Amino acid sequence: MNAAAERRYAILAPGSFTSRAAKTAHGVIAYARDRTVAVIDPDHAGRRVRDVVPYLDSDAPIVASLAEALPFSPTALLVGVAPAGGALPAHWRAWIDEAIAARLEIVSGLHQFLGDDAAFSGAAAHSGSRIRDLRTPPAPRLFDGSGQSVRARVILTVGSDCAVGKMTASLELTRAARERGHDARFLATGQTGIAIAGAGVPVDRTICDFTSGAVEELVLAEGDADLLFVEGQGGINHPAFAAVTLGLLYGAAPDALVLVHLASRTHIDGYGTPILPLPRLVALYEELCAAVKPACVAGIALNTHGLDDAAARVAIERASRETHLPCDDVVRNGPAGLFDAMAPRFAHKTTALR
């Protein structure tokens, strides 16, 4: 990351800032060094970020148009929504055009690359604005196993589903590890994580034959750290995205896993697939690792969003009892407790069976 490159974001989320699809917007506001100076969503214009998304500690204004955002001196427009399938909603084109004309950098995590759009790239060349597609994949590289023996102990968050808090858990645990004096680093694997960290690999956009190789390359580049917290993706039983999950699991070659689950979720969102009981999910992830590079689940990061404190405590205790593992909500209760409970399991490298 280059300190000189700090951005001031206007985040585009028309009609969707309070929806789950705005997780890119929420993640960047919560965790990125780049500042968010305004959010564009006519549905909530006149209010502030923390008024409509209470867990975001930001008083950035929400405005109805790009023109109203410009007085806050943004340097970039971030497409803040990550729709499934990753296509640009057609009625958003005018917003992008307007931002390009205003010479803002365009930052997008969509599958549909804005830089490949002739109209956008032509307009950007004309105005002198840049287009940054966060999901641009790295050059194809075949996994070769070299990442399995980096110095760093690699900790991967794995999930019961998409959008349950894997990125947040990885970020919070990185912070806790740093506070304990470790050289701990967060490795981003999705568009939001990349927007936050300023670098990473968009795993879901890689060609499937090269998915594991791309993740391995990411680990190799940061292999001199003490601890690498790799952002997980999807879920091993996700009918649409499990390929991403498994490619990431073998590519990262973790020494330990942290299982992330949303306490209130019983089925894979949008697909109706039942989520396995946590002990079975733990066993499944561990069995997948067993022959390739053994890794145990070190703890459960339980996302208790939507529960009151008493219900959250019950859910955390139950998950811990069922799995015989440390469990906590790293947002509600902070990451230090779970990190300390898991730390003994982060002390050693595991070895691939050869």
Site for its own copies, rule CB under 8 A: 84-86, 111, 140, 142-145, 203-209, 211-213, 236-247, 250, 253, 271-276, 280, 284, 287-288, 290-293, 352-354
Q: Which amino acid is at 304?
A: T
CB closer to its own copies, 64 vs 243: 243
Sheet arrangement for strand 35-40? 62-63, 35-40, 8-12, 76-79, 105-108, 131-133
309-323 and 278-290 helices cross at what angle (nearest 10)? 50
To which residue do tokens 């529960």 refer?
307
Tell me how far apart the alpha carbons of residues 314 and 320 are, in angstroms, rounded to a whole number: 10
- To its own copies, the closest distance from the beta carbon of 246 in angstroms equals 5
Q: Which amino acid is at 102?
A: A
Backbone angles phi, psi at 288, to 5 degrees: -65, -35
CB closer to its own copies, 232 vs 247: 247
CB closer to its own copies, 246 vs 343: 246
- To its own copies, the closest distance from the beta carbon of 147 in angstroms equals 10
- To its own copies, the closest distance from the beta carbon of 144 in angstroms equals 8
Tell me how far apart the alpha carbons of residues 194 and 34 are, in angstroms, rounded to a whole number: 12
CB closer to its own copies, 153 vs 293: 293
CB closer to its own copies, 288 vs 296: 288
To which residue do tokens 């060094």 refer?
33
- To its own copies, the closest distance from the beta carbon of 140 in angstroms equals 7
- To its own copies, the closest distance from the beta carbon of 12 in angstroms equals 22
Output the DSSP codes for 279-298: HHHHHHHHHHHHTTS--EEE
- To its own copies, the closest distance from the beta carbon of 248 in angstroms equals 8
What's the token pair of residue 68?
């109203």
Tell me how far apart the alpha carbons of residues 146 and 153 are, in angstroms, rounded to a whole number: 14
CB closer to its own copies, 9 vs 241: 241
